[in-house]
Amino acid sequence: MKRIALLLVLAAACRTAAVPDNALAGARTPRASVDRFLAAARAQDIQALGADFGDEKGPLRDHSDRAITERRLLIMLQCLRHDKAVISEPSRGEGGSQVFMIDLTQGSLAATSRFTTVKGPSDRWYVEIFDITVLQNKGFCSKSGG
């Protein structure tokens, strides 16, 4: 009887638990990758931003120089501070990528930036690039903000 009870306890301990989608890097859809990326930027969460910034190989933090990636993410956090984001419907980009035009507002500042998402491993989507120059030119990247 003790063996059966022990086997039941072990079997229960070994069951597979579903991992919440927000605990994984990347997102299930191109739109979700943009949503998660912008939410991370708004929250100024560098770890979450790094989980959704990547390419066809997955999150950049997992396969690029760590120091360079961290610097890039810090710059992105500064430039992507926003109060509001309006995301367009996607258009098809090169190589199966999806492109979104996003209207960002930060205080009295407003800019429209192009975000490109790509599919990586395990059918997860990542923000690969966005037009940071537009944000710089509109004053989003200054230390004082809008």
pLDDT tens, position by position, 34-50: 999 999 999 999 999 99
Structure tokens at 50: 């790094």
**Alpha carbon 53 to its chain's center:** 5
Mean pLDDT of the chain, nearest integer: 87
User: For residue 79, what pLDDT band results from cuts at 50, 70 and 90?
Assistant: very high
Exposed/middle/buried for 121, CB within 10 Å: 0-12, 13-18, 19+?
Answer: middle
pLDDT, position 9:
43
* CA nearest neighbour of 79 among 9, 2, 146, 140: 140
Residue scoring higher pLDDT (23 or 44): 44
Beta strand extents in the chain (DSSP E only): 54-55, 58-59, 84-87, 91-92, 98-106, 109-119, 125-130
Structure tokens at 30: 């191109």
d(CA 27, CA 144): 32
User: For residue 24, what pLDDT band results from cuts at 50, 70 and 90?
Assistant: confident
Look at residue 106 and tell me whether its pLDDT is greater than 50.
yes
Look at residue 1 and tell me whether its pLDDT is greater than 80.
no
Beta bridge partners of 19: none
